[in-house]
Amino acid sequence: MAEISVIKTPIEDLVIIEPRVSRDDRGYFMETYRQDVFSEAGLSMTFVQDNESMSKRGVLRGLHLQTRFSQGKLVRVISGAVFDVGVDLRKGSPTYGKYVGEILSGDNKRMLYIPEGFAHGYLVLSQEAVFAYKCTRIYHPEFDAGIIYNDPDIGINWPIDGMEIILSEKDKALPTLRQAGYAF
């Protein structure tokens, strides 16, 4: 049976997942998701949609959320590297407004599970990155929203290191958490 390691973070329910990777001189093999293995590890979410994107170095996507039909996301990088962030927006949570950031890469094969009730974003660190994620709910564009990536109250320590940040016009216009007041 496939194995995964679940690593807790300072925010309850937001976890790092390390799959078992079988490597030999031909390359590698890994299971990226198997419902029974995840359930045995205490992760009983159900996924209904898969997404994939490719972005170049310096692209920062986020921080995104849905104001209704919040999505839990199992995120990973197929190739390249990103700094991935989940921000807790759960009403009454002791870690409301706090974040966890983790480097995910095609080399380390780590995944991050970001539960429903979180904002999500990532910064591409490599020349390009292919990013894949499974969602617990279908995307509803009419409820699409977000928080500006450099919100001073959240204080995300993005590993920018002098790189030019590339944002979509939509992401440039996002409000701060204080302005939006999101809580789910």
Question: Could you give the C-alpha distances from 171 to 45, 86, 87, 135, in angstroms and in order?
Answer: 28, 16, 16, 21
- Coil, strand or helix at 150: coil
Residue 64 annotated as catalytic: yes
Which is the catalytic residue, given 99, 113, 133, 182? 133
Asked if the bond preceding 63 is cis, omega within 30° of 0, the reply is yes
122 is catalytic: no
What would the two tokens of residue 183 be? 């809580």
Which residue carries 């539960």 as its tokens? 115
Q: How many CA atoms lie within 13 A of 92 on its CB side?
A: 0
Return the closest-CA partner of residue 15 out of 144, 110, 109: 110
- Identify the active-site residue in 64, 99, 120, 122: 64
Q: Which residues are catalytic?
A: 64, 133
